Amino acid sequence: MFLPLSLAVFLSATVVLMWSIAFVVRDRPVVLKQLWAAAVVECLLAVQAVSAAVALVAVGREIVVWEYWGYVFTALLVLPAAAAWAFAERTKWSSVVLAVAAFTVIFLQWRLLQLWG
């Protein structure tokens, strides 16, 4: 995996995580600006998924394919789900959900790096 891209995912997801924790503390629901930030993370994840697919086909790495793509798809799913709930839940709990989603992205990114070796 392209390391700068991974670092960008870590950094941007951490921003979303901290931002939503700050909102939880202040008892506020998710705002649109946070969803733009989450969209940036999502775009980075999508670019990463495509580039990883290309790299896998081109270089043919020895990798546990099922596990790897399982993590990739889970990572791609959590932020849109959290964003959808930001509209439905206009209390601080939408911020908690976004924080959980951002944390999941960070955790999965770390696992992906481990798998890639």
Partner 1 sequence: MSKSASWKQRLERRLDTTERTVDPREGGTGRGFGRVVVTIYAILAVAATARALWQLIDHGHQAPLPYALSLLAGVVYIVATVALARSGPVARRVAWVAVLFELVGVIAVGIATVAVPGSFPDQTVWSGFGQGYGYVPLVLPFVGIWWLRRTRAPR
Footprint on this chain of partner 1 (rule: CB under 8 A): 28-32, 35, 64, 66-67, 70, 73-74, 77-78, 81-82, 85-87, 89-94, 96-97, 100-101, 104
Query: What are the DSSP calls for 62-79, one per residue?
Result: ---HHHHHHHHHHHHHHH
Residue 61's Cβ-count burial label (10 Å; 0-12, 13-18, 19+) is middle
Opening angle at CA 52, ends 18 and 82, nearest 5: 35
Q: Minimum CB separation from partner 1 for residue 4, in Å?
A: 27
Nearest residue (CB) to partner 1, 5 versus 96: 96
Q: Minimum CB separation from partner 1 for residue 57, in Å?
A: 20
Q: Minimum CB separation from partner 1 for residue 111, in Å?
A: 10
Which residue has tokens 């959980």?
100
Nearest residue (CB) to partner 1, 33 versus 59: 33
